[in-house]
Amino acid sequence: MGTLATDRRQVGRRPVWHDLATRFDDPRECLASFLALETAEVLAGEKPANLLGIANLTRSCGRNLYVLWKWWGKEVLGESGLAVRELADRGDSLLLLIDRPEALEGLLRRPSASAVLERAGYGDLSALGGVLDELATRSNGDAFPHEIGVFLGYPLKDVAAFMGLVRIPFACQGPWKIFGDPRENLRLAESFRCCRARMAERLSSCASALECLAVQGTVFLSPCSESEFHN
């Protein structure tokens, strides 16, 4: 337990969009800064997709991201190379899955990922669109689809254990619930945090958030260093 506690203390503060919200006066740039930070791991090629929840409320910066998304979301995201699926729109909130289609399709072709989704009741996994239709239907149901962890690129052992498909002892709470030996999982979580930290740094100094959103991974070409992991 001592090693695990040490590992968890090393995880740095997760950059939040609130710290950057006032940098960009133009509403499109404001929305782009939010999307760039919240999809940093996907832009970097470290994750196939991210799940974004957007509440329909005015933020402290005076803007409503829900409204900005409805006005300009797909236009702003257009140059990023990413795809988006509105999983649920309840009026007071919006749930988006933003993904890199080729990465998500590759993930669904993996037998281990397909096996988890089949156990969760998914039928034809050959077409990404149909699979995402099913995910959207479930997202609008009474029970949240916990298999969404597969789409988000979380370790399959953690997704399967959380769903109760396999019995693996719970280890710790990271960005997701981690089961079994946590060391590789915590390192993966740190790589995700590193992507966000790099994007936050870029957004804090760049002239255009739209350019940051369109970077498509070029700012992340070098792997994160140990010092970045522990900052």
- In a domain? residue 223: no
229 within domain boundaries: no
Q: Is residue 227 part of a domain?
A: no
Write down the pLDDT at residue 11: 43
Q: Report yes or no on 230 lying in a domain.
A: no
Q: Quote the domain boundaries for residue 59.
A: 2-217
pLDDT digits (tens, 9 = 90+) for 33-60: 999 999 999 999 999 999 999 999 998 7
Count how many domains the chain has.
Answer: 1
3-state SS string for the chain: CHHHHHHHHHCCCCCCHHHCHHHCCCHHHHHHHHHHHHCHHHHCCCCCEEEEEEECCCCCCCCCHHHHHHHHHHHHHCCCCCEEEEEEECCCEEEEEEECHHHHHHHHCCHHHHHHHHHCCCCCCCCHHHHHHHHHHHHCCCCCCCCHHHHCCCCHHHHHHHCCCCCCCEEEECCCEEECCCHHHHHHHHHHHHHHHHHHHHHCCCCCHHHHHCCCCHHHCCCCCHHHHHC
Write down the pLDDT at residue 226.
53
In a domain, residue 222? The reply is no
The parts of the chain modelled with pLDDT lower than 50 are 1-11, 217-218, 220-221, 229-230
User: Looking at residue 224, what is its pLDDT?
Assistant: 60
What's the confidence (pLDDT) of residue 217?
47
In this predicted structure, what is the pLDDT of residue 225? 54
Quote the pLDDT of residue 59.
87
The pLDDT assigned to 195 comes to 92
In this structure, is residue 179 part of a structural domain?
Answer: yes
Q: Which pLDDT does position 13 carry in this prediction?
A: 62
Identify whether 24 is part of a domain.
yes
Within a domain: 157:
yes
